[in-house]
A and B are shown apart, each in its own frame.
Chain A
Amino acid sequence: MQKNNPFKDAPAAGSNVKNNPLAVMPHERAAGWKLFFKTVVARAYPRIVGQQREKSWIFFDIFLPMLAVSAYVFVYRAIGAPEEYVGFVVIGGAMTAFWMNIMWSMSSQLYWEKEQGNLALYIMAPNSMMAVLLGMAIGGMLATFLRALAIILIGSLLFHVQYTIISFWQLIAVFFAAMTALYGMGMMSASLFLLLSREADHFAQLAQEPVYLVSGFYFPIKSFNFWVAAIASIIPLTLGLDAMRQLIFATGASLGFLNVTVELTILLILCVAFLFGARALLGYMERLAIREGRLTESRR
Chain B
Amino acid sequence: MNNSETLRSFRTATWLGWQIESNWTDPFLFAVYSIIKPLAGAAILVVMYSVITKGNFDTPIFPYLYFGNAFYIYVGAIMTGVSWAVIDDREHYKTLKYMYIAPIHIPAYWLGRGVARFLTGSFSVIITIAFGVIFLHVPLDLATVNWPLFILSLILGVAMLCMMGLILASITLLVAHHFFLIGEAVAGALYLFSGAIFPLDVLPAWIRPVGFVMPITYWLELMRRSMVSSVSQAFPTLQRFSDLQLAGILVGLTVVFAVIAYFLFRWCDFRAREEGLIDRVTNY
Contact = CB atoms under 8 A, between A and B. Distances in A.
A116 B283 contact: yes
B1 interface: no
Interface in B166-209: 175-176, 178-180, 182, 185-186, 188-189, 191-192, 196-199, 202-203
Contacts of B283: 112, 116
B92 interface: yes
B191 A202 contact: no
Contacts of A198: 24
B40 A223 contact: no
Interface residues of A, number: 52
A213 B93 contact: no
Interface string A62-75: 01100110111011
A67 B47 contact: no
Nearest to B194: A71
Interface in A240-274: none
Contact of A68 (B33, B188, B198): B188
Chain B interface residue bracket vs A = 35 or more
Contact of B48 (A67, A209, A219): A219
B49 A60 contact: no
Contact of A199 (B24, B188, B197): B24
B282 to A, nearest CB: 7
Nearest to A205: B37
Interface in A74-93: 74-81, 85
A54 B52 CA distance: 41
B44 A212 contact: yes
B24 A75 contact: no
A78 B92 contact: no
Contact of A77 (B43, B50, B202, B284): B202
Interface in B254-279: none
B144 interface: no
A202 B51 contact: no
B191 A57 contact: no
A74 B192 contact: yes
Given A54-B284, A68-B191, A76-B52, 8 more contacts: A67-B191, A74-B202, A78-B61, A100-B179, A199-B24, A202-B25, A210-B40, A218-B48
Interface of B: 24-25, 33, 36-38, 40-41, 43-45, 47-53, 61, 65, 92-93, 175-176, 178-180, 182, 185-186, 188-189, 191-192, 196-199, 202-203, 281-284
